[in-house]
Structure 1
Amino acid sequence: MAHFAAILYMQDVEKNQEYRPQHLAYLEELAKQGKVHAKGPFVDGAGGLVIYVADSLEDAKELAEKDPYVIEGARRLELHEWKMSN
């Protein structure tokens, strides 16, 4: 398993508020499945970050693109494999 950083840049503040409950429920379900390592908003309001746990970039992309924020255009997705170090 590898880690993937999904940077979710703010696109639409109104849609962000509207779809926040669905976004959080989606990530909570994935966290229960062990597919989310960490998540949280940027303090400056520019968006947020989700660290997915997946077998491949393609698998992580599939998870990230199913986020209601991405589907509804509230956030713009940028995805990178992340090498976690201690």
Structure 2
Amino acid sequence: MKIFAVLLPMRDEEKSNVYRPQHLDYLAKLREEGKILANGRFTDGAGGLVIYRADSYDTVKAYVENDPYVVHGARTYHIHEWEMVTGRGPLQN
């Protein structure tokens, strides 16, 4: 498995407020399925970050493009494959 960092920059704050419950429910489902390692908002209001675990970029892109925030134009996104380093070194596959 690979690790992907997905930035979700704010596009429309009003839409973000409207679709937040759906977005959080969607992420909770993916987290329960083991597809998300972590997620959270930026405290400055700039958007948020989701750390996905997946086999490919295309898989993560499909997850992101089904996120209610993205579907409804509340957020844009940037996907980056990421080599996560912990106190013990890079996270192993």
- TM-score range (shorter-chain normalised) is over 0.9
Query: Residue 70 of structure 1: CA displacement?
Result: 0.5
CA distance in 2 between counterparts of 1:60 and 1:71 reads 15
SS in structure 1 opposite 2:49? strand
CA distance in 1 between counterparts of 2:4 and 2:66 reads 15
Query: Residue 71 of structure 1: CA displacement?
Result: 0.6
Extract unaligned runs of 5+ from structure 1: none
CA distance in 2 between counterparts of 1:26 and 1:43 reads 21
Extract unaligned runs of 5+ from structure 2: 87-93
Q: Which residue of 1 aligns with 2:50?
A: 50
Q: Count matched residues.
A: 86
CA distance in 1 between counterparts of 2:73 and 2:6 reads 15
Q: Which residue of 1 aligns with 2:23?
A: 23
Q: Which residue of 1 aligns with 2:36?
A: 36
Query: Residue 65 of structure 1: CA displacement?
Result: 1.0
Give the TM-score normalised by the residue count of structure 1: 0.98
Q: Which structure has the higher relative contact order (CA within 8 Å, separation 6+)?
A: 1
CA distance in 2 between counterparts of 1:52 and 1:64 reads 10
Give the TM-score normalised by the residue count of structure 2: 0.90
CA distance in 1 between counterparts of 2:66 and 2:3 reads 17
CA distance in 1 between counterparts of 2:76 and 2:33 reads 24
Larger Rg: 2
